[in-house]
Chains A and B, each alone.
Chain A
Amino acid sequence: MRLTLRVWRQSGPEAPGHLAEYEVDGLSADMSFLELLDVLNERLALGGEEPVAFDHDCREGICGACGMVVNGRAHGPEPTTACQLHLRSFADGEVVDVEPWRAAAFPVVKDLVVDRSALDRVIGAGGYVTAPTGSAPEAHATPVPAADAERAFADAACIGCGACVAACPNGSAALFTAAKVNHLNTLPQGAPEADRRVLSMVSAMDAEGFGGCTSAGECARACPAGIPLPTIAAMNRAYLRATRRP
C-alpha cells in the first residue's frame, strides 16, 4: 500500500517548522505506524536527508515514550498508542498528517519530539508515598479491600505519554495529575499525605503552564490507558476537601 505523509519538520526548539510531504510506497497493512516512519527514515537517510525525529521505545504500548498527533488525533484513530497503531487503520493512498503534541508545557525539541519533563515535575511535587527503603512494615499489616486495589490500579495504569494534554483544547494535564493523585489517595498507604499531595500536585500542574479543565472530555477519549474522565472529578473533590481542612 501507499500513503502520503505530511510530517511536521522542525530542526530545533526555536526554529520555524513546516509540514513536509513524503510519498511512502510498498507498505504492508501489518506494519505499525512507527515502522512506517522507520521505512521513511531509512529512505531519507540514504538520500542524505535528516530522518524524522520521534520518541519511541518499548513499541508495545506501555512505556509511554511515543506520541504524535495523527490526522488530528493524539496517537491516531485507534484507542491505543502510536506504536500499536497499524497501517490497516488507513486507506490505501490516504493522506496522513503527523504533528507533534501541541502544548506550551511541551515545547518542541525537534520534529515530532517534545519535552514532557513537566509531567515528571508534577509527580515530583507529591506523586509518591514517603516510604524510604527499609522503613516498610510487613506487607500484610494493612489489608486493602480488593475493590480499592482495583480502583487504584485503574488510575495507576497511566503511562505518562501526554496524549491527554495534546488532545485537550485547553492544554490541561488534569487527567494525568488526577490519575496519580487518585491512585495514591485511594490506598491506605497514600492516605497520610493525601491532602498535601493533591494541593501540591495541582499547584505544580498550574505552575507548569498547563491550561484549566473545562470538562471537554477529549483527554479520556485519547487516553491509551483508558483513564476515565470522572477521575478528574475525584481529584477535584480531594482538592476541595484538602483546602477546607486546616
Chain B
Amino acid sequence: MAVTGAVMLAYLVAHMLGNLKIFFGPEEFNGYAHWLRTIGAPVLHHGWFLWLLRAGLLTAVVLHGVAAYQLTRRARAARPVRYAHRRARTDYATRTMRWGGVILALFVVWHLLDLTTGTVNPHGRPGQSYQNVVATFGTWYGNAVYGVAMLALGLHVRHGLLAAARSLGLAGARAERALRATGTGLALALTAGFLVVPVAVMTKVVS
C-alpha cells in the first residue's frame, strides 16, 4: 500500500502543479496538455509516454485497491465481533480511509470519463482541455463531485503519508512529528491546489 500510495502521491503533485497552468490562459494550458503527449519524443512515439504513465498508474491503483481489500478482509477476520458500546475513533482521517478510498476510486472513473475521454463532459472536445475544464466547472454537479473528492483526497493523503512512512519504517520517534507536519501540509496543498481551479471558474477568473 505504501509503495503504490507513494507512486500515486507523486503523480498527484505533478498533476496539481500542471493544473495551475490554467491560470495562464487557454493557449498555454492546451499547449501543456499537448506537450504531455510529446514527452519522450523522438525516442517515444506520440502519446506513448502518457500511455506508459497511465499503465503505471492503473497498476498502482489496482494494487492499492487489492491491498486495501485484503487488509480489510484481514481486519474483519481478526475482529469479527464488534463492541456493543460504539465509540467513534479518535482520528477522523484514519476513520475515513476505507470509504474515502472508495469515493476516490469512483471519482477517478468519473474524472476520466469527464476530462480524458470527454464522454460525460458538457463540452467534450479532444485537444480543448481548457474549454472542457471550464465546461465541467460550469455545472453545479461538476463542482460538487470535484469538491467532495478533493476533501476526501486531503484526508486520505494526510493519514496515508504517515501510515506509508510507518509501514516503510521511515517514521522514527523523531521523524514522526516532521512526517505528521509534511502529511498535513501536503494534504492541504493538494486539496487547495486542486480546488483553486473550480473556484476560479466559478468566480470567472478562468472562463
**Chain A positions near chain B (C-beta within 8 angstroms):** 6, 8, 19, 69, 71-73, 97, 99, 102-105, 168-172, 209-218, 221, 228-230, 232-241
Contacts and interface: CB of A to CB of B under 8 A. Distances in A.
Contact of B71 (A6, A73, A214, A232): A214
B10 interface: no
A6 B84 CA distance: 10
Contact of B87 (A71, A211, A230, A236): A71
A170 B71 contact: yes
Interface residues of B, number: 33
Residue from B78, B87, B172, B175 whose CB has the most chain A CB atoms within 10 Å: B78
Interface of B: 71, 74-75, 77-87, 89-91, 94, 97, 159, 162-163, 165-173, 175-176
A59 to B, nearest CB: 24
A124 B87 CA distance: 34
Residue from A19, A72, A241 whose CB has the most chain B CB atoms within 10 Å: A72
Nearest to B71: A212
Contacts of A209: 77-78
Nearest to B166: A233
B171 A217 contact: no
8 contacts: A105-B78, A170-B74, A212-B75, A214-B75, A217-B90, A228-B173, A234-B169, A236-B167
Contacts of A97: 84-85
Contacts of A213: 166-167
A73 B89 CA distance: 10
Given A170-B71, A233-B166, A210 B86 contact: no
Given A209-B77, A211-B71, 4 more contacts: A212-B75, A230-B171, A237-B170, A239-B169
